[in-house]
Amino acid sequence: DAGITQSPRHKVTETGTPVTLRCHQTENHRYMYWYRQDPGHGLRLIHYSYGVKDTDKGEVSDGYSVSRSKTEDFLLTLESATSSQTSVYFCAISEKTANSPLHFGNGTRLTVT
């Protein structure tokens, strides 16, 4: 298994509070991604990074921000959580480009009440 650790694994938070999810990799892969998975929508890309301090938006980036200050860490922040952000969040990495196999972490289940 690719060395990807997501934390926390579960979180319950209240509407309007800030939340940060962390993804840590030990593979030294260049590309890192944040997805959310919802019934009826499948997996959707939130943000991705192609290097330290290099990030870009995915298809559902509104309400989310990311940061990557080190190769191994990619943080996803919900500035003010809403109930529509209740989801399972997955971090993924790939070695060279998106044209390499994608490896996923085990996910963070976030509930916003």
Partner 1 sequence: KQEVTQIPAALSVPEGENLVLNCSFTDSAIYNLQWFRQDPGKGLTSLLLIQSSQREQTSGRLNASLDKSSGRSTLYIAASQPGDSATYLCAVLIQGAQKLVFGQGTRLTINP
Q: Which residues bind partner 1 (CB under 8 A)?
A: 4, 31, 40, 42-45, 48, 50, 56, 58-59, 90, 92, 97-107
Q: Which backbone phi and psi does 13 adopt, to 5 degrees?
A: -140, 165
Q: How far is the CB of 2 from partner 1 (least distance, A)?
A: 9
Q: How far is the CB of 8 from partner 1 (least distance, A)?
A: 15
- Pick between residue 45 and residue 75 the one whose CB is nearest to partner 1: 45
- Pick between residue 14 and residue 56 the one whose CB is nearest to partner 1: 56
Q: How far is the CB of 80 from partner 1 (least distance, A)?
A: 26
Greatest alpha-carbon span in the chain:
39
Is 79 within 8 Å of 61 (Cβ atoms)?
no
- Pick between residue 13 and residue 109 the one whose CB is nearest to partner 1: 109
Sequence-distant (6+) residues with CB within 8 A of 110 are 10, 11, 12, 13, 19, 21, 81, 85, 86, 87, 88, 89
Q: How far is the CB of 106 from partner 1 (least distance, A)?
A: 5
SS3 call for 90: strand
